Amino acid sequence: MKVSDILRVKGNTLYTAQPDEPLASALNLMAEKDIGSLVVMDHGDLVGMLTFREVIQTVVRNGGAVGTTVVRTAMDDHPLTCTMETELDEVRRMMLDRHARYMPVMDKKMLMGVISFYDVAKAVVDSQNFENKMLKAYIRDWPASAEDESDTTKL
């Protein structure tokens, strides 16, 4: 399974912030849309990722307040990214290694979407459920061999 499979099911609604935007505005958008991350874009380029982790760290650094902080100050300016062709096993490894919960999906310099650790886990569970259902159907429809059939006629 590839990242493109996840995005096809998930859809491609994206929420972004700009680096010089007040952090409070970005937080309002995150709360309003009930999302855990924003991709930070500057003149069409990905420049960072803002997640609740960066927000909490910034608020703690500011003594419990957002204040006049801008997104650039809080964001991760080296976010982990993947492509549409990245295999799901590789995405899981990358996210686990970096403790990343969100990952922008890029096609060269174009942002294609964002996948979350939840999206990855859901895709794995859905795939396993489908495989399990197919195996159960196969076992239920197991063809009887000629030897099995001859044994039942003796009874």
Positions of the chain with pLDDT under 70: 142-155
- Segments in 23-81 forming alpha helices (H): 23-33, 52-61, 71-74
pLDDT at residue 140 in the model: 75
Ranges assigned E (strand) in 5-120: 16-17, 37-42, 45-51, 82-83, 102-107, 110-116
**Using a CB cutoff of 8 Å and minimum separation of 24, what contacts does 22-28 make?**
22/68, 22/69, 22/70, 22/71, 23/55, 23/58, 23/66, 23/69, 23/70, 23/71, 23/73, 23/74, 24/66, 24/69, 26/50, 26/71, 27/55, 27/66
- Please give the pLDDT value at position 1: 87
Q: What is the pLDDT of residue 112?
A: 93
pTM reported for the whole predicted model:
0.78
Contact between 104 and 114 (Cβ < 8 Å): yes
